[in-house]
Amino acid sequence: MINAIYGKKIGMTQIFNEDDRVVPVTVIQAEPNTICQVKTKDSDGYEAVQLGFGAIKEKKVNKPMAGHFAKQGTAPTRYLREVRVENAGEYKVGDQQTVAAFAETKKVDVTGTSKGKGFAGVMKRYGFRGGPGGHGAHFHRAPGSVGQCATPSRVFKGLKLPGHMGVDTVTVKNLEVVRIDEEQNLILVKGAIPGGKNGVVRVRMA
């Protein structure tokens, strides 16, 4: 069984549940994912299926990818992603994974790429307290002392310092599935998920 589907984050809204309570939801558009390749232990050393999604014109596909799609006999897609499965031999190229597979699913794990924040200091990036705001202080938003004395006379790797913030792979687990719309290929999950609008996300059965 393929336990995941890929789609795009449309945005957030709110709906009313059966108890007339407002529920904040994120709308994910998960068009049918087409199996573009089947990988088995005999051929590739592991069991997986390659899912393609997002329609694209043939002229916009480069030659290596055009050859890949032609060899498999599938229509070109904008995105290709792999999903591990237990027995890939059960699936055929051209089969589709749709939101209908999540009809009975109560919880999902959603993985996406977080929004980029550019270069950020330690207060914004890691929540450092910072220094005093007044009384003649000259230490405000800097990270402070980061190294040791003569031994080892260097700064250790992995220290929390200013740098590029965001654009990380983030997974939010056990999100409640509020509604499945098979006609419009929509999955509504309770709460927020990583990334901005139109960001590619993976929805996996928890």
Residue 83 has pLDDT above 90, yes or no: yes
Residue 154 has pLDDT above 90, yes or no: no
**CA-based nearest residue to 118, from 170, 169, 163, 168:** 163
Tens-place pLDDT, residues 21-55: 999 999 999 999 999 999 999 999 999 999 999 98
Q: Tell me which residue has tokens 């031999």.
A: 89
State the Cα–Cα distance between residues 157 and 160, nearest whole angstrom.
Answer: 9
Tens-place pLDDT, residues 101-153: 999 999 999 999 999 999 999 999 999 999 999 999 999 999 998 888 888 88
CATH of domain 2-128+159-203: 2.40.30.10
Q: What is the DSSP letter of 162?
A: S
- Residues β-bridged to residue 200: 8
Delimit the domains of the chain by residue range: 2-128+159-203
Phi, psi of 135 (to 5 degrees): 60, 35
State the Cα–Cα distance between residues 12 and 25, nearest whole angstrom.
Answer: 6
CA Rg value for the chain: 23
The reported pLDDT for the residue numbered 105 is 94
Q: State mean pLDDT over 98-103.
A: 95
| 101 Rama sector, left if φ>0, alpha if ψ -120 to 50, beta otherwise | alpha
Q: State mean pLDDT over 162-174.
A: 97
pTM of the model: 0.88
**CA distances (Å), origin 185, targets 8, 165, 198:** 11, 33, 15
Alpha helices by DSSP H, the chain: 41-44, 63-72, 122-126
Tens-place pLDDT, residues 174-202: 999 999 999 999 999 999 999 999 999 99
Residue 74 has pLDDT above 90, yes or no: yes
The reported pLDDT for the residue numbered 148 is 81
Residue 168 has pLDDT above 90, yes or no: yes
Average per-residue pLDDT for the chain: 95
